[in-house]
């Protein structure tokens, strides 16, 4: 009798966030390392000013290269959408066969960002029937920590008149130990609540 494969371990929100924080720290460390190299290179240049121009040329080239690397590192900090949301979407997709996903955002001051899941092969007129199309909304909270990194946008609740940033929809915290199964449950429950409200 064939043994069933062991169940997939579910990543927690803390693990997704730690991936982003680690990437950010690595990038910061790289910038600091390049800064140190720049300082050393600048010191060498000051000490070697008396040398002929031809002797300085390779060092100037290296200094220019280091400055370019520093600018590149500073301008390519890790994206929380690429580091957190996209892996979450891919892991949720494992539990949604025949679906595809699309990330939309960030929008407005709170950087509202949503993951849309759409069932493939569904006729256009049935796209929004049942669970053929669902979405889950996120807001970044504390991106410098693996705790309380993201919140869920509660689109089923309104705390006042609509505004351009959707801030009338409250933010619900995500516990650090929440998994994609918790996010799937939240999304489906919210989808049902919104469907009832629209009928």
Q: What is the pLDDT of residue 101?
A: 94
Peptide bond preceding 106 in cis form (omega within 30 of 0): yes
Q: Write the CA distances from 157 to 50, 97, 152, 194, integer angstroms.
A: 72, 29, 12, 9
pLDDT tens digit sequence for 8-20: 566 788 888 888 8
Tokens of 184: 């799937």
Our count of domains for the chain comes to 2
Tokens of 5: 């494969």
Domain match, 34 and 131 both: no
Mean pLDDT of the chain: 81
pLDDT reading at 71 higher than 90 = no
Place of tokens 């982003």: 20
Domain match, 164 and 87 both: yes
Domain match, 109 and 168 both: yes
Domain, as residue range, for 69: 24-75
Domain match, 69 and 148 both: no
pTM over 0.85: no
pLDDT tens digit sequence for 141-158: 876 666 667 889 998 888
Q: In whole angstroms, give the CA distance from residue 132 to residue 74.
A: 41
Domain match, 30 and 114 both: no
In angstroms, the first-to-last Cα distance of the chain is 50
């Amino acid at each position: 009798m064939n043994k069933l494969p062991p169940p997939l371990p579910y990543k927690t929100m803390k693990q997704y966030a730690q991936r982003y924080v680690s990437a950010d720290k690595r990038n910061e460390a790289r910038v600091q390392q390049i800064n140190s190299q720049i300082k050393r290179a600048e010191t060498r240049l000051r000490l070697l000013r008396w040398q002929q121009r031809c002797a300085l040329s390779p060092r100037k080239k290296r200094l220019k290269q280091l400055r370019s690397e520093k600018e590149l590192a500073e301008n390519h900090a890790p994206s929380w959408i690429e580091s957190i949301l996209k892996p979450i979407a891919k892991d949720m997709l494992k539990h949604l066969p025949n679906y595809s996903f699309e990330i939309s955002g960030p929008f407005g001051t709170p950087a509202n960002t949503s993951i849309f899941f759409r069932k493939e092969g569904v006729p256009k007129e049935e796209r929004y029937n049942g669970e053929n199309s669902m979405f889950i909304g996120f807001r970044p909270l504390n991106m410098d920590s693996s705790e309380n990194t993201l919140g869920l946008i509660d689109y089923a609740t309104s705390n006042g008149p609509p505004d351009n940033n959707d801030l009338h929809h409250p933010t619900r915290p995500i516990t650090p130990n929440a998994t994609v199964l918790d996010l799937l449950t939240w999304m489906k429950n919210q989808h049902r609540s919104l469907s009832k409200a629209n009928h």
